[in-house]
């Protein structure tokens, strides 16, 4: 998946893990993601994550909306999950936002 400046409707997908194992997020009371703009810029969020397959596969998604992706470069993200067994934060992940020709 490539993400480009000003994309709308692009689906950002993460598989939540607990160590090497898939984390079942189907019963999570909170599923959120935070995004940080390039060069340690502003943090956006929290944004609510969807569970397209019910969550037992650990997959969560966020669909970018108008105005979300307003800078090119390397972005950072972190997922936040609240389960009955406790609160989980993912490692920081990175993705690149590419410029457009026009």
Q: What's the pLDDT at 1?
A: 66
| Pairwise CA distance, residues 52 & 49, whole Å | 9
- Supply the pLDDT for residue 90: 95
- Give the span between the Cα atoms of 34 and 17, in whole angstroms: 17
Q: Do the bridges between strand 93-98 and strand 3-4 make them parallel or antiparallel, or are there none, so unpaired?
A: parallel
Say what the pLDDT of residue 102 is.
84
The pLDDT assigned to 57 comes to 98
pLDDT for 24 equals 97
Q: Which domain holds residue 14?
A: 3-98
d(CA 98, CA 2): 8
pLDDT in tens, 33-65: 999 999 999 999 999 999 999 999 999 999 999
pLDDT of residue 35: 97
Spatial contact of 58 and 16, defined as CB atoms under 8 Å apart: yes
The residues, any chain, with a CB within 8 Å of residue 86's CB and separated by 6 or more, are: none
Q: Total domain count for the chain?
A: 1
Among the listed residues 90, 88, 85, 83, the one whose alpha carbon sits nearest the alpha carbon of residue 26 = 83
**pLDDT tens-digit profile of 64-97?**
999 999 999 999 999 999 999 999 999 999 999 9
CA pair distance 6, 66, nearest whole angstrom: 7
What is the pLDDT at residue 65?
95
CATH at 54: 2.60.40.1220
């Amino acid at each position: 998946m490539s993400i480009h400046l000003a994309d709308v409707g692009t689906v950002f997908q993460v598989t939540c893990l607990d160590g090497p194992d898939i984390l079942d997020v189907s019963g999570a009371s909170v599923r959120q993601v935070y995004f940080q703009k390039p060069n340690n810029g502003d943090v956006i969020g929290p944004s609510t994550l969807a569970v397209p397959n019910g969550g037992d596969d650990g997959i969560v998604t966020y669909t970018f909306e108008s105005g979300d992706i307003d800078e090119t470069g390397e972005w950072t993200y972190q997922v936040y999950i609240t389960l009955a067994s406790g609160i989980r934060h993912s490692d920081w992940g990175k993705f690149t936002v590419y410029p457009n020709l026009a």
